Structure 1
Amino acid sequence: MTTLERTLAKALTEIVIRLDLSDDDAIAPGAAMQVLAPVIALLHELPEQDRRALAELINQCAQEETDPERHLTAWETPETLGLLA
């Protein structure tokens, strides 16, 4: 994968982590889903091979996380984004 692809996967993972772990008073869960819904829709348009490749990049990002809570959320990100469907 290219540096650009890896950086974009890492940025997407970071967004999901921050939305998921934010205090509900800061970002309501419904608002978080409103942010993610169009992203999920775009990702569903990708060919299955590309979705799997993105999921693998995100899993690599998850492996780099040292904080247990961030690690778990990152590990769940491919499922959250519907990449494994």
Structure 2
Amino acid sequence: MADALERTLAKALTKIGIRLDLSGDDAITPEATMEVLQPVIALLQNLPAQDRQALAELINQCAQEETDPERHLTAWETPETLGLLV
């Protein structure tokens, strides 16, 4: 069972992923988005597979909380975007 810290960090990653993905190219370019995400992805890749899976599940729980269809879809894609899925 995830603790409050883990849930909060998963929610933060989800919200950041949504914001970056749904921002227009005039707000943040795709290249700049990847510059932000690449270090995060690299850190997450160092986690054991079991931890990456657990984080993906927490992010999916956050996705279920999204009521806006576009944000919901983007949230569901976040584990893949962050390289958590093997």
Task: Give TM class, smaller chain.
Answer: over 0.9
Tell me by how many angstroms 1:28 deviates.
0.3
1:70 aligns with 2:71: yes
TM-score calculated relative to the size of structure 1: 0.99
Q: 2: distance between equivalents of 1:2 and 1:19?
A: 26
Listed as ranges, the gaps of 5+ residues in structure 1 are: none
Q: Which amino acid aligns with 2:59?
A: I
For residue 9 of structure 1, give the secondary structure of its aligned residue in structure 2: helix
CA apart distance, 1:60: 0.1
Structure 2 length normalisation: TM-score?
A: 0.98
Please give the residue correspondences for 1:1-85 in structure 2 after superposition, counting only pairs within 5 Å. Answer: 1-85=2-86
Return structure 1 stretches of 4+ with deviation > 6 angstroms. none
Identity of aligned residues (%): 81
1:33 shift after superposition = 0.5
Unpaired segments ≥5 residues, structure 2: none
